[in-house]
Structure 1
Amino acid sequence: MDKQTVVVLFGGRSSEHSISSATAGGVLQAIDRGRYDVIPVGITREGAFVLEDDDAVKFALDAEQLPEVVDNGTRIRWPEPGGDRMLRVVQTDGTVTDHGEIDVVLPILHGTHGEDGTIQGYFDTLEVPYAGGGVLDSALCMDKHFMKVVLQSVGIAVAPWVTVRRADWVRDAAPVRAEIDKLGLPLFVKPARAGSSVGVSKVTELSELDAALEVAFAEDEKVLVEVGVTGREIEVAILETRDGVRASLPGEIVLTSRGFYDFEGKYLGGDGVDVICPADVADSELAAIQDVGVRAFRAVDGRGLARVDMFLAADGQLIVNELNTMPGFTPISMFPKCWVASGLSYGDLISELIEAGLRR
């Protein structure tokens, strides 16, 4: 069988640039080279598409120096609708070289301009097949406010919240503060459209609220203030396969001394958190977790993949925290860990995503 040519697209303009680049390191190392030819394309922090090195080591996750895409002067020319599928590269001397016809793009981008439907709409316009979420589910899940509204509409429990816009807070904070006061403590303050726990703060005293909002407003002019839910932190991985939508065995985030599962705990090996997969749950809880995960995925018109994060309360209620349409995908991330525990290797997981994109 002829190999398919896959563009692995990573980096990007969001604050999660380095995590996307680290994910690329894992994907480049694990992708099945017997099935796929790979063209690595990076997006710089300024938004330039460049031809990158096919070097997994270059993009390894290093807490001392996070990987990034550096502008090397090349520029990508994507195929145009109705034409051939040739990927072309403008070299630094101005010459244009052909790099083969591409079959599908694997966009492993996190955050704005990558996980929010914008790059998906771009490839839809170019008529270039791509793996992962589509425009609608990506946009919905990137905006935590609208994600909660959609989940509530199908009867899925979410934590109570207040959505705060910077303009309203600056103009007259008093009515906003009054609404937040009704939520009680503790609270979590988070940007509506960011990920990897960037800009997130835990508020245990109302005197901490103003500073927490400023941290979140630095990432997004729209911010969620939500009730801190007491319960086990459970995550389940959802995958669109040839045989339908599947849910993995769930994993669990156990905080031993860290206040919440923040950026350092997720990616930099910070102490105070254990990532356990599979989670130790009863059979009835397992079935309920997987059911809620699939229902949430379908509620947002999910495509490709998602990680559904939820809390398992002491009374058995499941409260969905969020959906990630391009979850952390480094080899140590929860999404791959859940599938490995479910019998699907990291390399095979990458193949499943690519094949789903090709089927479209």
Structure 2
Amino acid sequence: MRVLVVGGGQNSEHEVSLASAAGVAEALTVGGYEVSTVTISREGIWEVAGVAAGAAAADSLALAMQLIAEVDVVFPAVHGAVGEDGALAALCALAGVRVVGSGPRAGAVGMDKWVTKLVAEAAGLRTARGRLIDAADCGDAEFDGPVVVKPVSAGSSHGVSLVRDEGELGAALQEAARFDRRILVEEVVHGREIDVAVIREAGGVRWAAPPLEIHAAGLFDTAMKYDGSARFTVPAVLSTADRARLTRAAVTMFDALGCGGVARMDFFLTAEGPVVNEVNTMPGLTPASQVPRMFAAADVSYVDLVSRLVRAAEVPGR
């Protein structure tokens, strides 16, 4: 089977996307697939043979479409905007090519933290109380206690701040506005940070890997995610009841969004039960990333995991 692995992307998660793509390509090669790769630059240029210096993104995409037409499956290991948000899945849908992961609708909704909250609440799941602010209205925002400020559509905790007093709010809003004009301000939720990965196998069966707990003193921010200081416990030490609640909530969220492939659901586990924090429809997929760690705890190796994702690939919308 011929697989095209796409990495990079024109957003703040470019570097981690490159790492995910490299790991996926190597694992698929070990798994016996015929693998080709392509990188999307920070400027949106598809780096393929024949692309001239200074070429427009559309010109490079026209050349890249030949690569897409020649493979059986596209594996878009691109995180963040213009990638994970359903853009690449939509491209594959138009081309009639099977793609790993969620389709355009689930990708777009999952990338939008505000809409994700609305879906979670409609599905009967708890979320943190929050409000939406436009970047143009940052100067009018009121402080109502410790809050977390985050861009609505960004990943890897870019632009996320924990605000403890009123004097910090303006700077936090401006930082979030660097990544999205729509800003989410949420109450601080006190609980254990637990992640659950759900996979949809070929044939449609969905199941959740053992949950992972993040140990962080304060905000689990961008620096902690990638500087090696984060500590994880997998499987997380949970009661049978708590594990069942988290697994049920994760699968419910997966189904409510209409996800495919693998998605990571991030929760706070409070005394009252799970609270949905965020959803990642194309989570980090380096061998050391959280999702592969969770599936390793279920005796699914990294090579096996990416192979399962390729076998489950579909043409979106069909």
What TM-score do the two structures reach when normalised by structure 2? 0.92
In structure 2, the partner of 1:238 is 198
Is 2:310 aligned against 1:354?
yes
CA deviation after TM superposition for structure 1 residue 28, in Å: 2.3
Structure 2 CA distance for aligned equivalents of residues 300 and 28 of structure 1 = 27
CA deviation after TM superposition for structure 1 residue 169, in Å: 2.8
CA deviation after TM superposition for structure 1 residue 276, in Å: 1.3
In the alignment, which of 256, 264, 270 is matched to residue 313 of structure 1? 270
Contact 1:49-1:75 at 8 Å conserved across structures: yes
Structure 2 CA distance for aligned equivalents of residues 345 and 265 of structure 1 = 25
Kindly name which structure, 1 or 2, has the bigger radius of gyration based on alpha carbons: 1
Q: How does 1:187-226 map to 2 (within 5 A)?
A: 187-226=147-186
In structure 1, the partner of 2:116 is 147
In structure 1, the partner of 2:222 is 263
In the alignment, which of 277, 284, 287 is matched to residue 244 of structure 2? 287
State the SS of the aligned residue for 2:311. helix
In structure 1, the partner of 2:12 is 15
Q: Which has the higher contact order (CA 8 A, sep 6+)?
A: 2
Contact 1:26-1:330 at 8 Å conserved across structures: yes
The one-letter code of the counterpart of 1:126 is A
Q: How does 1:129-148 map to 2 (within 5 A)?
A: 129-148=98-117
The structure that is helix-richer by fraction is 2
Per-residue CA deviations over 1:135-173 (Å, capped at 9, x if unaligned) read 111000101000101111111000000111112335xx1
Structure 1 CA distance for aligned equivalents of residues 207 and 159 of structure 2 = 32
Structure 1 CA distance for aligned equivalents of residues 279 and 119 of structure 2 = 12
Contact 1:40-1:51 at 8 Å conserved across structures: no
CA deviation after TM superposition for structure 1 residue 33, in Å: 3.8
Structure 2 CA distance for aligned equivalents of residues 215 and 108 of structure 1 = 26
State the SS of the aligned residue for 2:126. coil
Structure 2 CA distance for aligned equivalents of residues 242 and 141 of structure 1 = 21
The one-letter code of the counterpart of 1:223 is I
State the SS of the aligned residue for 1:151. helix
Structure 1 CA distance for aligned equivalents of residues 95 and 70 of structure 2 = 14
In structure 1, the partner of 2:234 is 277
The one-letter code of the counterpart of 1:253 is I
In the alignment, which of 131, 136, 142 is matched to residue 162 of structure 1? 131
Contact 2:138-2:174 at 8 Å conserved across structures: no
CA deviation after TM superposition for structure 1 residue 87, in Å: 2.4
In structure 2, the partner of 1:327 is 283
Q: Cα 1:22–1:34, aligned 2, differ >3 Å: closer, same or farther?
A: closer
In the alignment, which of 251, 270, 279 is matched to residue 212 of structure 2? 251
CA deviation after TM superposition for structure 1 residue 261, in Å: 1.0
In the alignment, which of 325, 337, 344 is matched to residue 293 of structure 2? 337
State the SS of the aligned residue for 1:242. coil
Structure 2 CA distance for aligned equivalents of residues 198 and 328 of structure 1 = 14
In the alignment, which of 94, 98, 103 is matched to residue 125 of structure 1? 94
In the alignment, which of 10, 28, 33 is matched to residue 31 of structure 1? 28
Contact 2:5-2:76 at 8 Å conserved across structures: yes
Aligned length: 308
| Long gaps (5+) in structure 1 | 53-70, 80-85, 89-99
State the SS of the aligned residue for 2:304. helix
| Long gaps (5+) in structure 2 | none
In structure 2, the partner of 1:297 is 254
State the SS of the aligned residue for 1:138. helix
What TM-score do the two structures reach when normalised by structure 1? 0.81
Per-residue CA deviations over 1:187-225 (Å, capped at 9, x if unaligned) read 111000000001111111121100000100011100101
State the SS of the aligned residue for 1:49. coil
